[in-house]
Amino acid sequence: MSDNKESSHFVCSLCDFSAPYDYFGNKPPFAKAIILMEKAFVIKDPFSPESKHLTIGGFCSVCDKPVCVGQNCSVFYTKRFCMTCTKDNIKEFPAEIQQELKKRPTTSTKD
């Protein structure tokens, strides 16, 4: 009964999203000539005939928690920031990011 699938399963720390991933890092082997701007959890795009990739999540560059790329969970601005750290440091972000965040619906995140 050995089950190692847990080790390749991404779980977001802010929402209930979880999914198995194919690769963690910034150079997905199945997406040639792609270098991601962050180390991220990546899956092969199941709907694409070419070997495209989808980023499903990454680690917050401040608190190191795994967060998905969902609008309510993280922001990517040169690095990835979880929504908690983004709100704590909102003044550090440029106006366009602040505007973008204001447009997003505020939902209650679980603690």
Distances (CA, A) of 6 to 11, 57, 60, 61: 10, 16, 20, 23
Count of residues in contact with Zn ion, rule CB under 5 A: 12
In degrees and rounded to multiples of 5, residue 75 shows phi and psi of -130, 140
d(C-alpha 84, C-alpha 90), whole Å: 10
Min dist CB 36 to Zn ion, Å, is 18
Considering only residues 65 to 104 of the shown chain, the ones binding Zn ion according to CB under 5 A are: 68, 70, 73, 82, 85
From the list 15, 34, 36, 97, which residue makes contact with Zn ion (rule: CB under 5 A)?
A: 15
From the list 31, 54, 60, 75, which residue makes contact with Zn ion (rule: CB under 5 A)?
A: 60
